Amino acid sequence: MTIDTFDATGVKPSHWNLASVIEQLRVSREATHNIRHQGRVRELPSREALQIIVNGLSAVLFPTHYGRPNLTDESIDYFVGDTLNTTLNRLTEQVRRGLQFSATEEVPDDAVLTQQAHAITREFAANLPGIRALLVSDVHAAFSGDPAATSVAEIMLCYPGTIAILYYRLAHCLHRLGSPFLARLISDIGHSLTGIDIHPGAQIGGSFFIDHGTGVVIGETAILGQRVRLYQHVTLGAKRFPADDQGVLIKGVPRHPVVEDDVVIYAGATILGRITIGAGSTIGGNVWLTQSVAPNSNVSQAQMRND
């Protein structure tokens, strides 16, 4: 009688001709299909670590909502201080890793990268009170703009738009301070959680409200003013992508809309190109817009006629 043996997967071992497969993968990885940044192995930032970091920053900004609900007036500052110190130490390491993927040909040595990471993290920490002020304005905009909202706590815990904006505000600050790769990763984590895709390079003013939110896309060079309100499936995108003489896309060219103060854009609207939506305008649902709109305009789909 023979006894079958199984590995940790619960599958009976077999022969897979691994030597040949591993060799071909090595050749692909090292030579024929090498996609490493500047051809070098580097330690990537960790999505898991970044999720922990964002959770810590959220708890620092709003301790009783995203931290511990049993905090008291006596303990709250100690909780914030300890959480912030731990989180910033973690963030410094992730910033250092992200800086290795800069666009420059020469990557500084580890000592210089660490120094740069500390400087960025220190400046980021100094910006946290301002980020919190913006987020509070966003929460107030949601509460005043949604008749279904019953409390600030409901907005902060249940509204995907609020979570997406929180991730964006943190990521945008890192992007502005010179850590774009890390910012992009944080934005993508927020996108995965909420279905709302906001590029960290976009510039968005205070009192920003995304209602429902699923499918909202805001491109890298979009500029939004104060008190802008978006509904689900709104796209602020590019109409075309300029390329150089060799057909290579030119990076960083302004190509997304400018949305001025007090604009409301309803569900399913698609706004493309470097156009301006004037202050106080309302863009109706499912509108496709590729030209600028004067202030205080009301744009809607053409009415169908039955003759």
Q: How far apart are CA 265 and CA 283, in angstroms?
A: 5
Q: Does some domain include residue 252?
A: yes
* DSSP code, position 296: T
Residue 138: pLDDT band (50, 70, 90) is very high
Across the chain, which distance is largest between two alpha carbons, in Å?
86
Nearest of 199, 190, 180, 220 to residue 98 by alpha carbon: 180
Total-model pTM: 0.87
126 and 263 both lie in a single domain: no
Nearest of 124, 112, 133, 119 to residue 87 by alpha carbon: 124
The predicted-structure confidence for 12-36, as pLDDT tens digits, reads as follows: 666 778 888 889 888 888 888 776 6
Q: Does some domain include residue 78?
A: yes
Average confidence score pLDDT of the chain: 91
185 and 151 both lie in a single domain: yes
List helix spans (H) across 146-198: 152-158, 160-176, 180-194
> Residue type at 293?
V
Residue recorded with tokens 């960083």: 252
Q: Does some domain include residue 1?
A: no
- In the chain, how many domains are there? 2
pLDDT of amino acid 15:
74
Q: Does some domain include residue 3?
A: no
97 and 227 both lie in a single domain: no
Q: Does some domain include residue 300?
A: yes
159 and 256 both lie in a single domain: no
CATH number, position 59: 1.10.3130.10
177 and 68 both lie in a single domain: yes
Residue 166: pLDDT band (50, 70, 90) is very high
Average pLDDT on 152-157 reads 96
Boundaries of domain holding 114: 44-195
190 and 277 both lie in a single domain: no
Q: Does some domain include residue 30?
A: no
Distances (CA, A) of 196 to 18, 117, 225: 42, 28, 19
190 and 220 both lie in a single domain: no
* DSSP string across 188-237: HHHHHHHS-EE-TT-EE-SS-EESS-TT-EE-TT-EE-TT-EE-TT-EEE
